[in-house]
């Protein structure tokens, strides 16, 4: 089945049926209409899979996809025609252009934590770029997988866009059929497997991965605002967000005040029954993994919260004290991305301690700094490499379609959102259109032109005219 499916999409692509501006626009508008039509079913599926509150589900999944659609429809025409760029004087009278060529058949492998938006957002860019697409949703979110399949089957020819369901074995089968591009969102460990599978056939890919995202709070920060935004960002989707703050580094002089404020904010946000209002950990396996994080640190840090049942964990803080107490840093929850509503807190005395500590990890997908101190902001931004982030906020950078979203190193390769999605799913083909007239400096014999040595002409053009 997989072999025939990929072959049919490659045939469809070679017929240029989906590459016209009109076809791409119609496909995106059809997707938009289908999302409007099935909004309630999407929200129901998200609640069944992840216990998502309807408002949270709409905000993080449906709204994100609709915003991406609206923005892409506005810029679509720009990427369906050649873009003329400057031509140097040495190419006098010539014309230089960039053609945005779709790759062909794109395989999109999406994760379970945002099973709707992280499947359809890259789909929008792939369609806008003129590709055919095979979607492989996560089997961990079966209800969302089912509604995605229903939508795609209803509005698209399977030779243009289709859904393939299954586990890692079906993914391997798809990769063996040599898609023209692979877009993967998930863990770093699986990302390495995807990259290895693409390597023998030199299939280009984008990897959207994760990492341990630091959140630094210096003594100039607005603590009440910091607490509110961190609680929202960390415990959104029950902490199952690749760009959520993974641990806090806070100046020792303000930790006690901050702990009081963040506990008050948790109580305000989740009421007296947090286990009823917070989302669900996706599976029993993932739940047990998170519980193990809670079992080991009791002797090393003070725990606030920690109650759990029915695949739910209440918002939990663990105060480990000073960064100099390195024993806590060897715990499992500091060795991998937490991906649960558990937030370790460490104190520091000098900002350089934070920098050195963060440098000991792989490059994170996100970094957050709460500070009103401009020199400290500049120091952090210039000293550390990470995918993206916010000053005095969390997560909001990924909701701006004008900003590229992606990691660096172990947190990812490539980026997308807005125009960056279209550019990701296109090969930028460079074309130079040459005129009949030219400066004959490049041809042999390399003697003279207009009585002057050709070598001197070249010196003049590069050294004095700076061409």
Quick check: 240 pLDDT over 90?
Answer: yes
Summarised one tens digit per residue, pLDDT across range 402-440 is 999 999 999 999 999 999 999 999 999 999 999 988 878
Q: Which residues contact 377 (CB under 8 A, 6 or more apart)?
A: 369, 371, 391
Residue 116 sits at the vertex; the CA angle it makes with 115 and 118, to the nearest 5 degrees, is 70
- Catalytic residue, chosen from 56, 61, 208, 265, is 208
Q: Which residues contact 221 (CB under 8 A, 6 or more apart)?
A: 254, 370, 371, 372, 392
Q: Which tokens is 212 given?
A: 């341990």
- Catalytic residue, chosen from 162, 198, 242, 390, is 242
Summarised one tens digit per residue, pLDDT across range 61-86 is 999 999 999 999 999 999 889 999 99
Q: E strands within 86-211?
A: 95-102, 105-109, 132-136, 161-163, 181-185, 205-208
Summarised one tens digit per residue, pLDDT across range 327-374 is 777 888 898 999 999 999 999 999 999 999 999 999 999 999 999 999
- Asked if 336 is an active-site residue, the reply is no
Domains in the chain: ranges and CATH: 2-209+414-428 (3.40.605.10), 214-405 (3.40.309.10), 437-464 (no CATH)
Quick check: 461 pLDDT over 90?
Answer: no
- Asked if 162 is an active-site residue, the reply is no
Q: Is the pTM of this model over 0.75?
A: yes
Q: How much is the mean pLDDT over the chain?
A: 94
């Amino acid at each position: 089945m997989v072999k025939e499916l990929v072959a049919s999409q490659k045939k469809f692509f070679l017929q240029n049926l989906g590459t016209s501006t009109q076809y791409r626009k119609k496909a995106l508008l059809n997707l938009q209409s289908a999302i409007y039509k099935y909004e309630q079913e999407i929200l129901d599926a998200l609640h069944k899979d992840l216990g998502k509150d309807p408002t949270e589900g709409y905000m993080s999944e449906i709204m994100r996809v609709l915003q991406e659609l609206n923005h892409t429809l506005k810029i679509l025409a720009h990427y369906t025609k050649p873009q003329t760029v400057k031509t140097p004087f040495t190419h006098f009278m010539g014309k230089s252009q960039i053609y945005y060529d779709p790759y062909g058949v794109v395989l999109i492998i999406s994760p379970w934590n945002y099973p709707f938006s992280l499947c359809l957002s890259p789909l929008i860019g792939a369609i806008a770029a003129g590709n055919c697409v095979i979607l492989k949703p996560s089997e961990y979110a079966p209800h969302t997988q089912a509604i995605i399949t229903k939508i795609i089957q209803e509005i698209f020819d399977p030779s243009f866009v289709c859904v393939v369901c299954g586990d890692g074995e079906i993914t391997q089968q798809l990769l063996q059929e040599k898609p023209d591009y692979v877009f993967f969102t998930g863990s770093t460990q699986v990302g390495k497997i995807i990259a290895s599978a693409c390597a023998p056939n030199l299939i280009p890919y984008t990897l959207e991965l994760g990492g341990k995202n630091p959140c630094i709070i210096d003594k100039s920060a607005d603590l009440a605002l910091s607490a509110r935004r961190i609680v929202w960002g960390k415990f959104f989707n029950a902490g199952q967000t690749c760009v959520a703050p993974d641990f806090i580094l806070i100046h020792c002089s303000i930790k006690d005040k901050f702990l009081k404020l963040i506990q008050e904010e948790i109580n305000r946000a989740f009421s007296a029954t947090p286990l009823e209002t917070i989302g669900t950990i996706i599976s029993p396996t993932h739940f047990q993994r998170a519980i193990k994080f809670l079992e080991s640190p009791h002797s090393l840090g003070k725990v606030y919260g920690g109650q759990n049942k029915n695949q739910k964990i209440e918002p939990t803080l663990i105060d480990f004290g000073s960064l100099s107490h390195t024993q806590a840093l060897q715990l499992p929850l500091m060795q991998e991305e937490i991906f649960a509503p558990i937030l370790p807190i460490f104190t520091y005395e000098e900002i350089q301690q934070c920098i050195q500590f963060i440098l000991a990890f792989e490059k994170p997908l996100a970094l957050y700094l709460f500070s009103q101190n401009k020199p400290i902001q500049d120091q952090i931004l210039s000293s550390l490499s990470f995918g993206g982030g916010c000053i005095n906020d969390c997560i909001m950078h990924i909701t701006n379609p004008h900003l590229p979203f992606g990691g660096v190193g172990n947190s990812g390769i490539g980026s997308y959102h807005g125009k960056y999605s279209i550019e990701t799913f296109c090969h930028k083909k460079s074309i130079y259109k040459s005129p009949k007239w030219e400066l004959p400096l490049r041809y042999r014999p390399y003697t003279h032109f207009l009585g002057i040595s050709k070598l001197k002409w070249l010196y003049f053009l590069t050294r004095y005219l700076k061409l």
